[in-house]
Structure 1
Amino acid sequence: MSLVKFLTSKVFFKQLALAVVAIVVLTFIMLKWLNITTNHGEFVVVPDLKGKSVETVKIELDDNDLVMEIQDSANFNPKYPKYSVIEQNPIAGAQVKENRKIYLILNPSGYRKVEVPNILKRTFRQAKPQLQALEFKIGEITYIDNIGKDVVLGMKHKGKTLAPGAMLPLTSTIDLILGNGKR
């Protein structure tokens, strides 16, 4: 039998019709199965977790069939209590599927510690931006007799002498002792 006769025969059209019916039936069954297994159209609303403790968050997420995943705790925010949630992803009010992971960023117990730079024998004009770049605050400035005008001769933190390389929490206040330009 030639190819042209086969393509125009009843047997070919029967087989083609059976193949089309099989594909349609399999596609319909697969789509119904996906709707059932993926809970199509069923969502859980993500609660607002900001400012809440880890224990409270765990209970609230368990009640909503969601999973907690702690990502980070590096950015201290003094507006929130220690070890509370300061950021969440997905955001509050988002619709997600059940058992979805909610990624949390916690507030650490305090600012991280930073090394005090060596600003001794530098001018106040050079030292100030260096301290501010590390998020230190400049406190009281005292002058003592020294030929170097506005040269940093010493540093103090809470009344104690501070050496370069000491570790202080971010936003600590550093008092400076400067020269007044007199002998």
Structure 2
Amino acid sequence: MSWKKFLTSPVFFKHLALALLITLAFVFGVMKFLSVATNHGEEIPVPNLAKMSVEKAEERLDDIGLEFHLLDTVDYNPAFPPYSVVEQDPLAGVTVKDGRKVYVKINSGGYAKVTMPDLVQKTYRQALSTLRALGVQEGDVKYVEYMAKDVVLEVKQGGKKIKAGDRILKNSKIDFVLGDGKTGFNDEELDSVNTHEILVPTEEDLNNAE
């Protein structure tokens, strides 16, 4: 049989149709395999990792095909356990593809320490502004006799005097000893000064003095 007759024969078309079916079946199988292998079209909701330990969060993500990635440690937040997840990206509930990285930030193990600045002879307002910028809280205030009002004379913590350069924990409370604005005279001396009669010499007194 010549090639021309073969190419126009029913047998050729039968073989051609069979080859096309096999090719289509192979392509479909490959596409199906890739779809399953890559979870094509499947989206996974990101779980809420807040307050989980690093180990538990990593295990939770691994179980559902997501990747844990630690970004940083943030300042201590007492609302979260030490070394637990504080922030995550993507947020909980967002749907992502399989294998997506979830970036997290974890809580510190405790409050950091800051260096105490020199607050003596500063005004109370200046001292508060400085401490708040450092993350330190205001404690009790005590006034003592001093000529300048609201001037810091001492800074204490737990009854112990603190000096510039000492290290204290963030969020701790600092007590102040401030001046009350009085000169230091006692009440009797102040009354004497206030009631003392000032004598103005007369012209006759001045003439007699001459």
Give the TM interval when normalised to the shorter protein.
0.7 to 0.9
Mapping of 1:133-148 within 5 angstroms?
A: 133-148=133-148
In structure 2, stretches of 5+ residues that fail to align are: 1-26, 185-210
**Aligned residue number for residue 121 of structure 1:** 121
Please tell me whether the aligned partners of residues 38 and 98 of structure 2 are also in contact (alpha carbons under 8 angstroms): no
Give the Cα separation in 1 of the matches to 2:84 and 2:145: 49
Please tell me whether the aligned partners of residues 44 and 95 of structure 2 are also in contact (alpha carbons under 8 angstroms): yes
Q: TM-score if structure 1 supplies the norm length?
A: 0.74
CA shift, 1:51, in A, is: 1.2
**Aligned residue number for residue 50 of structure 1:** 50
Aligned sequence identity (%): 41
The answer on 1:86 being equivalent to 2:81 is: no
Q: TM-score if structure 2 supplies the norm length?
A: 0.65
CA shift, 1:73, in A, is: 1.1
Give the Cα separation in 2 of the matches to 1:71 and 1:61: 16
Report which structure shows greater RCO (CA 8 Å, sep ≥6): 1
Give the Cα separation in 1 of the matches to 2:98 and 2:84: 23
**Aligned residue number for residue 61 of structure 2:** 61
Which structure has the larger Rg over C-alpha atoms? 2
What is the DSSP-based 3-state SS (H/G/I as helix, E as strand, rest coil) of the residue aligned with 1:92? coil
- Root mean square deviation of aligned Cα: 2.1
Residue deviations 1:48-95 (CA, integer Å, cap 9, x gap)? 111111121122111111111111112322111111111111111122
**Aligned residue number for residue 162 of structure 1:** 162
Please tell me whether the aligned partners of residues 154 and 161 of structure 2 are also in contact (alpha carbons under 8 angstroms): yes
What is the DSSP-based 3-state SS (H/G/I as helix, E as strand, rest coil) of the residue aligned with 1:104? strand
Q: How many positions carry a matched residue from both structures?
A: 152
Give the Cα separation in 1 of the matches to 2:125 and 2:66: 53
CA shift, 1:38, in A, is: 5.1
Which stretches of structure 1, 4 residues or longer, exceed 6 Å deviation after superposition? none
Range moving further from structure 2, 141-150 or 97-106: 141-150
Residue deviations 1:94-117 (CA, integer Å, cap 9, x gap)? 222222211111111122222222
